[in-house]
Amino acid sequence: MTETVHDLDVRRQLCPIPVIKTQNRVNQLARGDVLRVTCTDPGALNDIPAWCRINGHEVLETRRDDHDVVITLRVGEPSVAL
């Protein structure tokens, strides 16, 4: 089975926008899809993985280079709206 990888570019956007846009994009994806989020907000290294843990998604990789933060996640079970 080939996984589908999607990219989300939220560079030059500050908290909470990277998390909100990640959530919006994940809601459009299927379970098992992979989303690679690229941003410049260093807080996203904590915020997006925390959001993933709360919402049942798996963080596959986090990395930071000179300019960008990249978080790769696998979409889990859909969240239940409260």
Q: Which residue out of 8, 15, 59, 70 is catalytically annotated? A: 15
Q: Using DSSP, state whether 17 is helix, strand or coil.
A: helix
Contact 44, 71 (CB under 8 A): yes
* Whether 39 is catalytic: no
Close Cβ partners of 34 (under 8 Å, ≥ 6 residues apart): 3, 4, 5, 6, 60, 72, 73, 74, 75
Catalytic residues: 15
